[in-house]
Amino acid sequence: MFTLTAESPWAQTMSLLENCSTMKHLKQIHAQMIKTETATDPKLATKLLTLCSTPHFGNLHYAQMVFNGITRPTTFMWNAIIRAYSDSNEPKIAFLLYCQMLSSSVPPNSHTFPFLLKSCRDLSAMGEALQVHGLIVKLGFGSDVFAMNSLIRAYTLCGDIQYARQLFDHIPERDVVSWNTMVDGYIKFGDVKSAYGVFLEMPLKNVVSWTSMISGLVEAGLGVEALELCCEMQRAGFELDAVAVASMLTACANLGALEQGRWLHFYVLNNGVHLDRVIACALVNMYVKCGDLEEALQVFAELKASLKDVHVWTAMIEGFAINGRGVEALEWFNKMQREGTRPNSITFTAILTACSYGGLVEEGKSLFKSMKSLYNLSPCIEHYGCMVDLLGRAGLLQEAKELIEMMPMKPNAVIWGALLKACQIHGDFFLAGQIGTHLVEVDSDHSGRYIQLATILAAEGKWKEAAELRLKMKKLRVLIPPGKSLITLDGVVHEFLAGHQDHPQMKQIHQKLNQVAERLRKEGYKPVTKDLWLDLENDEKETVMAQHSEKLAIAFGLINMKPGTTIRVVKNLRVCGDCHDVAKLVSRIYKRDIVMRDRVRFHHFRDGRCSCRDYW
C-alpha cells in the first residue's frame, strides 16, 4: 500500500505515478490522491488519466471513471480520454466526447484532431473526416502541419486518395512526415507507380521514406526493383532498420535470391538489428523459399525458444513440404507439439501439402480428420484443396470428386483445377473434359483453364476442338502469361522470358543450348511434346519448347557459373515435363546440381534424378 506524507504530497504523487507499473498500484495511488486532495490538481489528474487509459494498463472503464470525477477537465485531459477511445474498440465514442468538449466550452488544440481522425480511419468514416477537416480550417489550424498530416492519412485510409493528394498539394507547409504519409497512402491504395513518383520528388528522405517504398515494392511483387532501391538506400548513407530487413528478406524469398538473403542474414547478425519473431520467421522463410533447407534448419536451431512461435514452426514444415520431404514434415509437425506449440490453420495447410507432394495418403486423411476432432479447427477451402490434390495425385479420382461434392462450402476454381490436373495425369479424359468445360465457363479470365482443357483435347487427338478453344481465347482477349525464370549471379537477378531474345548474352545462350541438345541426343533424349497443345508438327514443337524460360536460365548458369556451382532457377509457372527431363539429364551429364522452384514446389536435380521422384 502506498502512503503519502504531508510534507510534499504533490512531488511524491508524481514520482509514484511515473514509476507505477500495474493497474493495482495505480488504483492505490488514486485512492491516496483522493484522501490528500491532490486528485484535483490538473497535472496530477492528467498524468493519472493518461496512464490508466494507455494500452499498457488497458482499463478504459477506470479511465472514464477518473475523467468523470474531474470537475473542470482541461484540453489536455479531454485529449487524453478522446485518445483512449480512438485507440480502443469503441472509436465512435471519441466523437461523442469531442462534442461534449465543445459544449463545455473547452477549446481543442492541434493535438485533438489527430485522435479524432484516427477514429475516422478505423471506422472508414469519410463523412466524419470531412467534418473534422472543416473544423480544422474553421478553428484556425489549417496551417498546422501536424493536423494536416493526420488529415492526409485519414483520407488515404478512408479510401479517397484523390482528396489526400489535393490536400497534400495545397497545404502551406510540408515536412518529411507529409511526404511519407503520401507515399504510404499510394502504396496502401495499390498505386506503387504514383508512390514512387512522390518518393523521387521528396526534398529530404529519412529511413521511414526508404523503408516504406521498399516495402511497397515488395508487396507489389516488384522484388528486383526493391533490391535495387535497397542498394540506393545504403549508398545514400542509411542503415537498414528491422522493417526494411524483413521486407528485403521477403523479396529474396520471392525471387529465390539466396546470395542477397545470406547477405541480409549477415547484416542482421553484425549491425545490431533486433532479431524479433518477424525477422526470425522471415529468415527461415527466405532460406526455405530459396531451396536451402539445411541453412533454414541451422537458423531455426540457433533461435531462442521464445522466438520459435507457430509461424516459425509452420515455415519449417512448409519448407519440408515444398521441397518434397513429406516424412520429415510429419516428424516436425509432431515435434512442434511435443515442444508446446499448437498448430493453427496455416500449419495444417502446410502439413497437408507435405502429404500431397509426398504421396502420404493415409497420413493426410488422418490429419484432415483430426483438425476438428483434436484441434477444434474447422477445415477451410484451402484444406479441402489440399485433400483433393492429395487424393487426385494418388489416382483416387472418384474419392476426390466425392469429397468436393460433400464440401460445406461451394468449391472454387482452384478446387476443380486440382481435380482436373489429376485427371490429366491419370488419363481420365471423360471426367477431365467435364471439369475443364465447367472451369472455362466459371473462370473465363484464367488462361490456365483454357490451356488445361486444350491440352486434354489435344491428347485425345481432338485438334479441331482445341483450335476452337484457342480462337475463343483470342476473341475474349484472354492473355497467356509468358513463362518467366529468374537466376541470380553475383547479386544481380537475371530474368528470362519464354521466346524473348533481349538478354545481352542471348547469342551465347542459344549456342550453349545447341551444344546441350546435341549431348542430350547422344544420351537418347527425345523431347516430350505430348503436353504441348499447339497444333504444330513435332519439329516445330521442339523449337518452341527449346525456348522455355527455364532452359534459357539453365544455359545461362552453365555459361557463367563455375563448374560444380549449384544452378538455382525460380519459375513463375509449373515446370513442363520436357524441361523436367532435360534438367535431370543436364544434372547428370554436366555434374551440376540444379534447384528449380516452380509455381508450386521445388525440384532438386542431382545425378539424373529429381527430389520429387517424378511425383509432381
Residue 321 has pLDDT above 90, yes or no: yes
Mean pLDDT, the chain, as a whole number? 87
Residue 271 has pLDDT above 80, yes or no: yes
- Residue 73 to residues 18, 67, 97, Cα–Cα distance (Å): 21, 8, 12
Round to whole Å and give the CA distance between 82 and 93.
8
Residue 547 has pLDDT above 80, yes or no: no
pLDDT at 483: 84
Round to whole Å and give the CA distance between 249 and 265.
9
Please give the residue that has the higher pLDDT: either 478 or 200. Answer: 200
pLDDT at 532: 53
Most confident of 8-22, 245-259, 481-495, 497-511: 245-259
Contact assessment for residue 261 and residue 252, using Cβ atoms and an 8 Å cutoff: yes
Minimum mean pLDDT range among 145-154, 190-199, 355-364: 145-154
Share of residues in the chain with pLDDT > 90 (%)? 48
Instruction: Cite the DSSP H helix spans in 124-241.
Output: 126-138, 145-157, 161-170, 176-189, 192-201, 207-219, 223-235
Question: Model confidence over 379-399: pLDDT tens digits?
Answer: 999 999 999 999 999 999 999
Instruction: Name the nearest CA neighbour of 505 among 483, 487, 527.
Output: 487
pLDDT at 207: 94
pTM, whole model, 2 decimals?
0.79
Residue range 488-511: mean pLDDT, rounded: 88
Residue 370 has pLDDT above 80, yes or no: yes
Q: How confident is the model at residue 540 (pLDDT cuts 50, 70, 90)?
A: very low
In three state form, how does the secondary structure of 565-592 look? CCEEEEECCCCCHHHHHHHHHHHHHCCC
Ramachandran class of 535: left when φ > 0, alpha when ψ lies in -120 to 50, beta otherwise: beta
Residues 6+ apart with CB under 8 A from 22: none
pLDDT at 453: 83
Q: How confident is the model at residue 69 (pLDDT cuts 50, 70, 90)?
A: confident
Round to whole Å and give the CA distance between 226 and 263.
15
Contact assessment for residue 354 and residue 331, using Cβ atoms and an 8 Å cutoff: no
Residue 373 has pLDDT above 90, yes or no: yes
Question: Model confidence over 203-228: pLDDT tens digits?
Answer: 999 999 999 999 999 999 899 899 99
Please give the residue that has the higher pLDDT: either 40 or 316. Answer: 316
Question: Model confidence over 76-122: pLDDT tens digits?
Answer: 888 888 888 887 777 788 878 888 888 888 888 878 877 777 777 76
Round to whole Å and give the CA distance between 334 and 65.
49
Can you give the residue ranges of every domain in the chain? 379-480, 485-610
Architecture of domain 379-480: Alpha Horseshoe (1.25)
